[in-house]
Each structure stands twice: as C-alpha cells, then as structure tokens.
Structure 1
Amino acid sequence: MTDFDISSIKILKNEPLSKYTFTETGGPADMLGFPENRSELINLVNYCHAKNLSITIIGNASNLIIKDGGIRDMVIILPKFNKIEVSKNTVIAEAGATIIDTTKVASENSLSGLEFAAGIPGSVGGAVFMNAGAYGGEVSECLQSAEVLMPSGEIVTFSNKDMNFSYRMSAIQSNGGIVISATFDLKPGDHNEIQAKMDELNEIRRAKQPLEYPSCGSVFKRPTGHFTGPLIIDAGLQGHWVGGAQVSEKHAGFIVNRNHTATATDYLELIKLIQKTIKEKFDVELETEVRIIGEDK
C-alpha cells in the first residue's frame, strides 16, 4: 500500500462541527482536514482511499444540518481554495470561495448573470453541488463548467450538460466527486444596473429572512402548486419551538437557533413535526432542501 504524505495538512481530531455550521449545531468529526492546494487535496483524498476512510465535504455549511453524533472518518473543508479570476466574459472561482464574493467580482467587472446569488451564503463548491438558486435564478443557468476531483484521483472537467442539473440537484451528489472550481459564463452589462439589482435582492432578503439568527437557510423545497411558508403558517406552526429550534417568526420557511441553544436533534424533530402536520392538514409532502448528514448521537 502506498503511503501518502499528509504531514503538511492541518488536520484536527474529534473537532466539533458546530463551530463550522450556520446553525451552530452538529457533533464532532473524527478528523477535519484543511488542504490548502490541489496537491494537498489529492494527497488527502488518496490517503483516505488507501486507508479505506470515507470522505465528507461540508463547504460553507450554510444549507446543512450535521447530526449530533457527528461524522466518521475524514471531513474536508476548503477555505483556502478561494481564488476568483475573470477571463473575458467568464468568472472562474475556486470551490472554497463564497458565492457572495463571486457575485461581487462579477459586478465589479460589469458581468451580468449572477445577480440572483448576491445574498446566497454558501461556497461555490456547495452552490454547484446543490444547484443553488434564489429569486428565479439558479447555478445551472450560468455555469459553463466545473473542475471535479473524482474518487479515482483524476481531475475531470464537467460541462453544464454533464452536471445533469435539476432542482437543487447535480451529478456531483451521486458520483462522489469534489468540486475544485467553477467557471460561470456571464454577459457584459452595466455595472450600476448589476449592482442595483444585487442591492435590491439583498434588501428583500434582509426584510424577509431571519438573517439575524443562526439557521440552515431554506429548509424545504417548494412543493408543486404551493408555497412552503404559507402552508406552515396556515398549519399554526409559525413560532413553534422544539428545544432550542424555532420556526422563524419572520419567515416560516426557516428554522432558527434563536437562543443559540438548539441541537441538530431539535432541528430534525421540528422538521419531522412540520412534515407530519402539513401532510395531515393539507395532504402535501414537504421534502427537505437542506442537506442532512452525519450520525445520530
């Protein structure tokens, strides 16, 4: 068996993932690795495969619930993969860059097409993985290609078509790949108009969403023919608590860790209660948009 040198990589053991999630919840990672460049990432992935360790990438952990039992084996975060470049009408962003910073670079260079994402708090890798969207736009509409590190250790360029995008879905969710970078195909525009649209959407977000509290973002996918928030309000669940988790009084489609005391189990129990109540009252199945991973405590 080949030994891969991972001595240069920062790896924390038994690290609480609540320090990294937007909900401020989540159990420990057996190992939490922070590779800083491609060679370190490839070495770490090869090391894990050689040692038969599972790998979990958690991105910016903004639309994610990690269960209270944590995650076994290796968890990887890529905060140093944050370079953003512009080439003609494209913006190339590494996976660890934030989508918000990527939209700012696009605006500064008078490139239009990413305005919808101006307030999405996730990483570029997470946004590609989830086909993130807001306000009528989504990643699938502007992604030209993505570089993906496959389980084989090979870096493959996926075209937009290769990504098999659908609502909050991409091929990366099933092929075990790790997004390294994304290239967004944008259109020349007027900087002031682009910035004005971003400012408008961010103001709507601030007015309607509970950004002042920890949350996992939009919890449920929009059910066909309905809006999630009004369903939850009509079911009498807005403001409802389970443990430290509360259905937001500002936007019923969000669950907030209002007093910073919630556990992931509180979140999951409240999600189940909402799903059960909506099914009983309205015969509507609510599917989670938030990604739920890890083990029960």
Structure 2
Amino acid sequence: MQLLESTGTPYCVVGETSNLLFDSRGLRGVIVRIAARMSGISFDGRDVVVKAGTSVPELARAAGAKGLSGIEHTVGIPGTLGGLVIMNGGSQRKGIGSSVAWVRYVDRVGTLIELSREDCEFSYRSSALQRLGGVVTEVGLRLDRGNTDEIEAEMDEIVASRQARFPEDAPNCGSTFLSNPAMYSSVGPPGKAIDDAGLRGTQIGGAQISPKHSNFINNVGGATSDDVLALVGLVRGAVLERTGFRMDAEARYVSPDGKVTAAHTVSDDRAASPGTSMTPIHPK
C-alpha cells in the first residue's frame, strides 16, 4: 500500500469481485486481491475472529456447525468477508454490520487501525470503510448461541430459495440495485419496481435485464461496461418517472484508474453527456 501510494500507482482492492463492474477498457494499474491466502477463522465461544479473505458461505457454514447464529442470511453470498463488511452486505434486508464487534484495516499509508462497530457507522449497504479506503485485514464478530440443526436447516432454505429465484445461467454483478427501505414499503423491492415499469428482459447490446429476476443484469454475450451502465440508467429513469424513487445501485463500477463508485453515479454522468444514448431492445 505504501509503495502504491508513494509512486502514485492506480490500484483497486478486491475480493471475489462478485459485485464489481470493471470498465471494458481495463484497469491501468494494480489489482490487490484479498482472497484465499488471507483466510482463516478462529472461534472463542461466541466471539469469532475472521481474516478478510475468508469465503462468506464458508464462514456462515462454519459458524452454524458451532451452533452460532446471526449470519445465516449471508450463506448464499459469493464473496469474501472483507468486501461484505465494507458494503455492510447481507440478504433478507439484513447486514453483516449487526454481527461485527470490530474491524482491523490498513490505511492508505500502511498504518494498521482498529475500528469498533460504532466507528464503522454501519447503515443499509454502507459503512465508513467505503470512504476511508485502505484494506480490511481482519474482522471480529459476536454471534448468538443457537441450535445447530435449526441454523443449518435455515441456511439450506436460504440457498435453495436463492437458487430458485436468482439467475445462474449468465455472468452478472449480483443484485444491481439497493433495496431502499423507504421504497420497499410502498413500491416493493427493486425487482418488482423494474417489472412494474415493463423492463424485465430488456436488452442493450450484450447486457440484459434477467428474465428470471429483474434486479440482475446478465451478460448474454459480448456485453460491455457501457451496455450495463446504459441499462442501469434506463431503469433508474423509468422507475423514477413511475414511482418518484431514485434507485441507487448496489453494483460497483471500477474505472480504468481504479476508482470504485456506485454504478448509478457513472450512468447518471454519462446520461447527462451528449451522444451517449443507446437503443434498448424490449422483450416481445
């Protein structure tokens, strides 16, 4: 980190990249990958210390086998714990932040810092770590005691539900849009809002709103980042016009210089520029 910062080298820190949309022009810099070589789980009663590169489903299953509850909702998320904590990711409108006791990370100049849960400022799919930058190295969790059989049965149900509802036949960045709690109560989840706008199956270039679940954008062949961003912009505009809600993206866009931003901010910027419109193909 110190070397990259001191030389001004562009870089991007990633885990499994499951929610990242890389610019089709590539990355003119260094990718710092936090994965299997930086994984490990240590149990001490209800307290669990986990290295940032640990697989999220592996962690959920290991905790369940110990009779520890609280992170069952993460069992189907294909990523590493570091990225999940930064995003305060989860499912069923839950977030990993509620189970976090502390986070250790290395800042941009190489200093190891420990943050409490309060320091992390967790909110829905957000945390202070997103603006602090640096690399999460280790996370302390405080879980609840539960019944192993019940925990494992719940996780099996979650995985089966995800497999039945979510597209697995084409590459995608996972859930494209955040499930805004304010919108949820009156309009419903993003997938329903997109369906109600008549956009299920709509395609731009090689990117298509999944016919199986509208909150996923699939690469159905040769999709570029521009194709995906154009669909993000189309959906945001249509849902805003119909409901008055602006749906923010959960998917993250990685620019050629390594900057990571919410995909909708890039699609909004491009929509405001002349000569960037693309014609969508609507399903028959």
Matched, 1:269 2:230: yes
- CA distance in 1: counterparts of 2:164 and 2:132, whole angstroms: 38
Instruction: State the number of aligned residues.
Output: 251
Matched, 1:54 2:15: no
- CA distance in 1: counterparts of 2:87 and 2:155, whole angstroms: 21
- CA distance in 2: counterparts of 1:176 and 1:239, whole angstroms: 36
- Matched residue, 2:198: 236
- CA distance in 2: counterparts of 1:153 and 1:230, whole angstroms: 44
- Matched residue, 1:295: 256
Tell me, yes or no, if the aligned pair for 1:110 and 1:194 is still in contact at 8 Å.
Answer: yes
Alpha-carbon shift at residue 152 of structure 1 (Å): 2.7
Alpha-carbon shift at residue 210 of structure 1 (Å): 0.8
Unaligned runs of 5+ in 2: 258-284
- Matched residue, 2:57: 100
Deviations 1:152-193 (A, max 9, x none): 311111111110111111111111221001111111211101
- Name the structure with the higher strand share: 1
- CA distance in 2: counterparts of 1:278 and 1:136, whole angstroms: 20
- Matched residue, 1:128: 85
1:58-207 equivalence runs, <5 A: 58-79=14-35, 80-207=37-164
Q: Does the residue aligned with 2:231 lie in a helix, a strand or coil?
A: helix
1:242-281 equivalence runs, <5 A: 242-259=204-221, 261-281=222-242
- Name the structure with the higher helix share: 2
Unaligned runs of 5+ in 1: 1-44
Tell me, yes or no, if the aligned pair for 1:116 and 1:136 is still in contact at 8 Å.
Answer: no
Deviations 1:217-257 (A, max 9, x none): 11111232322111111111101111111111111111112
Tell me, yes or no, if the aligned pair for 1:146 and 1:182 is still in contact at 8 Å.
Answer: yes
- Matched residue, 2:245: 284
Amino acid at match of 1:206: Q
| Cα RMSD, aligned residues only | 1.5
Tell me, yes or no, if the aligned pair for 2:176 and 2:250 is still in contact at 8 Å.
Answer: yes
- CA distance in 2: counterparts of 1:138 and 1:169, whole angstroms: 9
- CA distance in 2: counterparts of 1:73 and 1:258, whole angstroms: 28
Amino acid at match of 1:243: G
Alpha-carbon shift at residue 282 of structure 1 (Å): 3.0
Amino acid at match of 1:230: K
- Of stretches 224-233 and 202-211 in structure 1, the one that deviates more from structure 2 is 224-233
